[in-house]
Amino acid sequence: MISIEGLSKIFTSNKTDTTAVDNLTLSIDQGDIFGVIGYSGAGKSTFVRLLNRLEEPTNGRVVINDQVVTALNKKDLRIARQDIGMIFQHFNLLWSRTVEENIAFPLEIAGVSKEERLERVHSLIDLVGLSGKEQSYPSQLSGGQKQRVGIARALANKPSVLLCDEATSALDPETTNAILDLLVDINRQLGLTIILITHEMHVIRKICNQVAVMENGKVVEQGNVLDVFLHPQQSVTKKFVKQVMGSDEEDNDINQLIKNNEQGKIIRLHFVGETTNDALISQIIKTYQVDVSILQGKITQTQAGAYGTLFIQMGGNQDDVTQAITFIREQTSVELEVVRDAD
């Protein structure tokens, strides 16, 4: 369990105070993949650096595994940091060291014997998929391979918490997906808690269970990823959801659907979880005397489950159509909106 209480960070420059993190309070469950999203300047990178005191907080406290990190002296903090791995956007590798030597570096600092270091390094190289690259230098690696080295190095001391500060922002989409898949695999195999900082909502969608949205140093919205995607409350959250939902494009599609389909009702259905796989449309046609045409649809996966959007055109006797709509509205985890109510 990670407990963050009233955490603040104020930077002072030229006698001017700037609040980067403002009285932030969060709880993160052990073994969770927790996302923190915000635009540039929201305070998210400062926040994650406060967790291991790479930045010293102005106020508040951080408790990780029953240890008050913000109260530790320098000696105890160095020891505590061995339990908190961290990976960065720009890798921060030692360019004069090989892959093997980069991963071994934190073990050297911790005083681990050479034999134990080699055994640990080789197991980590296998874990992150870098077998055969042990003697390569960073300049000989792709961006994704460099980040895999960074991940392996962060795991060297067997931490219980992994902090990821924009870990995929410098990577292309295909490599990003591969790194995110690796993080999910590590989370499942090792059971460690991952806190992932990003400005990209598709990263949150792909691997996070919980998400906190930051703006102006504050958490303005948080919750289960699926809930936040389906029912964003704050304007900044709605902007992020549009990144992966294509809401603007969907609005244009609705207008085009209405223009191209003059008869019957046009209905938008939101399916959540297992209902995305149910044969709802077939059931409606068999039960009610209505005509149903599927106009457009898509399904998106999150760690918390699937959700889908389906546009249908429904026509027929008005009473039958009303009964069919009532039936749909009674279904668990299906939301219905009549987009165009023409007869």
| Per-residue model confidence (pLDDT) at position 336 | 85
Highest mean pLDDT: which of 197-211, 226-240, 259-273? Answer: 197-211
Tell me which residue has tokens 């004069």.
96
Q: Is the pLDDT of residue 162 over 60?
A: yes
Going by pLDDT thresholds of 50, 70 and 90, the confidence category of residue 299 is: confident
CATH topology of domain 247-341: Alpha-Beta Plaits (3.30.70)
Average pLDDT of the chain is 88
Which of 83-97, 226-240, 272-286 shows the lowest mean pLDDT across its residues?
272-286
pLDDT of residue 157: 93
At 136, list the tokens.
């390569």
Highest average pLDDT, of 136-145, 248-257, 259-268, comes from 136-145
* Distance in angstroms (rounded) separating the CA atoms of residues 146 and 166: 14
pTM summary value: 0.81
Residue 272 pLDDT grade (very low, low, confident, very high; cuts 50, 70, 90):
confident
pLDDT of residue 302 exceeding 80: no
Q: Which residue ranges make up each domain of the chain?
A: 2-244, 247-341
The SS3 assignment for 113 reads coil
Q: What is the per-residue burial (b if ≥16 Cβ within 10 Å, else e) of 321-331?
A: bebbbeebeee
Mean pLDDT, residues 94-123: 94
Residue 87 near residue 156, CB atoms below 8 Å: no
Q: Among the CATH numbers 2.20.28.10, 3.10.28.10, 3.40.50.300, 3.40.50.720, which is that of 2-244? A: 3.40.50.300
